[in-house]
Every structure is written in C-alpha cells, then in structure tokens.
Amino acid sequence: MIKKSILMVIAVLAIGFYSNRAFAQAAATAPTGDLVVTLSGNADYNVTAALLRAANLGTTLKGAGPYTIIAPSNIALAALPAGKLDSLMADPAKLAAVLKGHVIVGKFDKAELIKTLGSGTPTLPTIDGNKLTLSVTDKHLTFTDALGNHAKVIAFDILGTNGVVIGIDGVLTK
C-alpha cells in the first residue's frame, strides 16, 4: 500500500514536471467565448468544433456548464481510418455518441486533472454516462475510455467562458 502511494506521488510530480516542459504554451488569456467558439478559433481544434455542431451538441456546449472537452486535434482526426470521419458526419446520432464520450461535466483544468490522478480513483464521468480513466503513460497524462481506446494529452487549459478544453492526440470511443 505504501509503495503504491509513493508511486502515485511520483507519477503526479512527473506529470507536473514533464507537462510544464513538454507542453509549453502561451500564458492563458481571458476567455472570450464559449467552448465551441473557443475551439472554432483554434487552428489545431477547429475540426472538433465543426463536428460538435454537426452532431447538434453545439447548443448544449454553449450552456452555462462548466464543461471540459477532451478534444482530438485536427491531426488526430485526420489519422482516423479512411472514410471513418465521413461515415460519422453522415450519421449525426453516431457522431454525437462518439463526441459525448469526450465531454465531462465540470471544469478539469491541468491542476484538477493532476489532483484527480492522485485521488486514488482517477476516473471522470462523461456526459454519455461512461467514464474516462486518467493514467501516466510514457511521461504523459493519458485518457482511456471503457473500450480501452486511449489518447495522450497534448495541450492543457484552453479556456472558454463556460469551461476548458484539453487537447489530445487521438479519438476516444471510436
């Protein structure tokens, strides 16, 4: 039990240290729009914003929240198998099911994610009723869904007026 606690503390410290080095980004500025607007204005995540609108989730995510969107980067979406994104776009209900697995009720910025990781129960419920599990993989914070799909965090704390976006390098709940 003590060994597990020590390992958890080391993991949390490693995430803090490496994420500050590996994910250096400009200082957070005051948010100017809701999460969908924020994603739309970000060249690395604007495809996710378009998908949220196509899945009719834009209205929900414009609400008061707060929400945390675990957003696949444009590069991650482009890496999906040929035809997968087109197939999802053709079926808004299926697209919504995938995207709901990327949305958490509550605001989980970098500090909250690290705190959750060290809590002993590092899971976060998504709006579709499933859970995402946090872990450290190759010195990166990683999200894993119930089906075992996983993605590493590549950007923290992209702030909107009603929550935060955490950028990931893959697509969960495929």
pTM over 0.75: yes
More confident: 8 or 114 = 114
Task: Tell me the mean pLDDT in the region 21-43.
Answer: 69
Would you state the pLDDT for residue 119?
Answer: 81
- 90 burial type by CB count under 10 A (0-12 exposed, 13-18 middle, 19+ buried): exposed
Can you tell me the distance from the alpha carbon of 15 to that of 17, in angstroms, rounded to the nearest whole number? 5
Nearest alpha-carbon partner for 72 in 52, 92, 88: 52
* Per-residue pLDDT at 43: 92
